[in-house]
Amino acid sequence: MTSSKKIIYDFGANNGSNIPYYLKKADLVVAVEANPSLCGQLEERFSTAIQAGKLCVENCVLVGEGDNQEVYFYLHKRHHVLSQLPRPDDSVIGDFNRVLLPSKSVMEIVRNHGAPYYIKIDIEGHDEVILKELFRNQIRPPLISAESTSIRVLALLAAMGEYSAFKLVEGATVAKMYGDHTISVNGRHESYSFPPQSAGPFGEDIAGQWMNADDLFNLLAAKKMGWRDIHATNLFQPDPTSRMQKRRYMLRHVRGWLLAKFRPSQETNG
């Protein structure tokens, strides 16, 4: 599957906080959102982009496989960002309204619109299913991101996705870290402030160096899973002079120095 367009897929578009940024970076943005009320807001807010053919809003529940059947979806009563397809735990089920909504498979959407340049996945509790289906169908966009709800997300990206370079975007600090941030738009640079609740930048717009999977695994082990997105690419290679790589070299050097210093004293005292 090839496309002459730069197409960005926003899987879990929510209230559209990512769309203004994505419109700067793509020829076409495909925003997929299950919540009918939020989709109505998107269509009103971005009506000019829709009319210009720059934005397509898909109001459906995104599933791995299916034939456009209605499925039960759980709309959170207070926080729309927590709405989800999987049935919530019994301890919180009272916070949700269960509704029947139309669904579409991820592959139907991709086939309808074209090969992706970047895919952002944030669909509470269902990211792994979508990743597996994309990779099973040989869809490996140059840039992709998914929420780090479990270490399996990184495993899928590194193994099945065959990606070698990774970055991390912290959801809780996006507005603070990426306020008045320099982004690249059509070969030039401009300032852009990412709003709270947005997914933040992708690709080279993300601050910091690209890491390999081992370094990212260690970083996630220290930070724990949660509200942060793992970004993966096959466009770049990890920087061999990254901070973690330097620390690894330093530890090896110190270990070697200590061993060399300790052994003679052992022989002397023996």
201 contacts 194 by C-beta, under 8 angstroms: yes
Percent of the chain with pLDDT over 70: 86
Q: What is the pLDDT of residue 231?
A: 96
- Structure confidence at residue 98 as a pLDDT band (50, 70, 90): very high
Asked if the 7-239 domain carries CATH number 3.40.50.150, the reply is yes
> Tens digits of per-residue pLDDT, 211-235?
998 888 888 887 766 678 999 999 9
Looking at residues 12-32, what average pLDDT do you find? 97
9 alpha-carbon distance from chain centroid? 11
Interaxial angle between packed helices 127-136 and 106-113, expressed in degrees from 0 to 180 and rounded to the nearest 10? 60
How many beta carbons lie within 10 A of that of residue 133, not counting itself?
18
Which candidate, 136, 121, 129, places its Cα nearest to that of 232? 121
| Domains in the chain: boundaries | 7-239, 241-270
Choose between 68 and 207: higher pLDDT: 207
Residue with tokens 């990412």: 194
**Sign of CA pseudo-dihedral 101, 104, 106, 112:** negative
Looking at residues 164-177, what average pLDDT do you find? 92
